[in-house]
Amino acid sequence: MYNRNQLEILLEKINIKDYEKLKKLEIYIENLTKWNKVINLTSKNFEAIKHIQDSLMFFEVIKNPSGNLIDIGSGNGFPAIIIAILSNKLNVTMVEQNIKKSAFLRDTIYKLQIDAKVLNTNILEVPTETKFSFVTLRGLKCNCKMQTKIHSLLLTNKGKLVIWTYPAPHLKYFKLLHSFSKNNKHIHVYIKEQAEQQPI
């Protein structure tokens, strides 16, 4: 489980002191716990604080993110829901193929009233007309087909791919821009191969 003091400490570390955002995090955890009794969203030894802590690494490597973000395999909402709650400048799209998990995500978005939407589909079927500032990937392998699709979804020269994994994968169409490790967790930021390196 968790307590409010733990959440406050985590948010203070990324310079967020906002009661409404703290309350939304609590609502999210409560809703996740409720749904988890009906469908399998997390493991039996699930600890919300650890998953929130992992998700917050996004804000430690991407300062003041803005634009739009697409999260692949959103499942239980980490990191996409956390990012949507805490960022005022990001429009978040969650891609989840599982119907029940998509229903959970939509219910959570409704209850939190955050700027986000859910696509109940495979990432390979997502239209490429919209280009994204960020693609996030946690808990999934980035195979060749997925790399190609992500490449087509990202903004040229500005779009970034953010992956939680260890070690940093060697991606055919991307260049590693930055890696960050904390509490034995790892996050890596990539840009398109043809793009010049740019500050995070």
Mean per-residue pLDDT for 89-97? Answer: 97
Higher pLDDT, 105 or 183: 105
In a domain, 197, yes or no: no
pLDDT for 35: 95
C-alpha span between 156 and 198 (Å, rounded): 12
Does residue 142 lie within any of the structural domains? yes
Least confident stretch, 41-45, 68-72, 112-116, 189-193: 41-45
Indicate whether 198 belongs to any domain: no
d(CA 65, CA 127): 23
**Binding-site residue set for S-adenosyl-L-methionine:** 73, 78, 138
> Is 199 within the bounds of a domain?
no
> What's the average model confidence in pLDDT over 71-100?
97
Above 90 in pLDDT, residue 164?
A: yes
Task: Supply the pLDDT for residue 2.
Answer: 67
Read off the amino acid at residue 166: Y
* pLDDT at residue 1, as a whole number: 58
SS3 50: helix
Instruction: Say how far apart CA 13 and CA 10 lie, in whole Å.
Output: 5
Q: How confident is the model at residue 4 (pLDDT cuts 50, 70, 90)?
A: confident
Quickly list H helices, the chain. Answer: 4-13, 19-36, 48-61, 80-86, 99-112, 144-153
> Phi, psi at residue 82, to the nearest 5°?
-60, -45
**Residue 15 confidence (pLDDT):** 87
DSSP state, 143? -
Q: Is residue 128 exposed (0-12), middle (13-18) or buried (19+ Cβ within 10 Å)?
A: exposed
What predicted TM-score, i.e. pTM, was given to this entire model? 0.94
CA 142 vs CA 119, 124, 137, 147, 162: distances in Å: 19, 12, 8, 6, 11
Position with higher pLDDT, 48 vs 79: 79
CATH number at residue 160: 3.40.50.150
d(Cα 29, Cα 42) in Å, to the nearest integer?
12
pLDDT at 196 > cutoff 90: no
Mean pLDDT for the stretch of residues 61-90: 96
- Give the pLDDT confidence of 109-151 residue by residue, as tens digits: 999 999 999 999 999 999 999 999 999 999 888 999 999 999 9
69 in a structural domain: yes
Which residues does the annotation place in the binding site? Answer: 73, 78, 138
Is residue 70 helix, strand or coil?
Answer: strand
- As for how many domains the chain has, the answer is 1
Token pair for 1: 């489980």
Contact indicator for 132, 149 with CB cutoff of 8 Å: no
| Residue with more model confidence, 4 or 119 | 119
pLDDT band (50, 70, 90) for residue 13: confident
Using alpha carbons only, give the angle 25, 11, 111 rounded to the nearest 5 degrees. Answer: 15
186: containing domain = 4-192
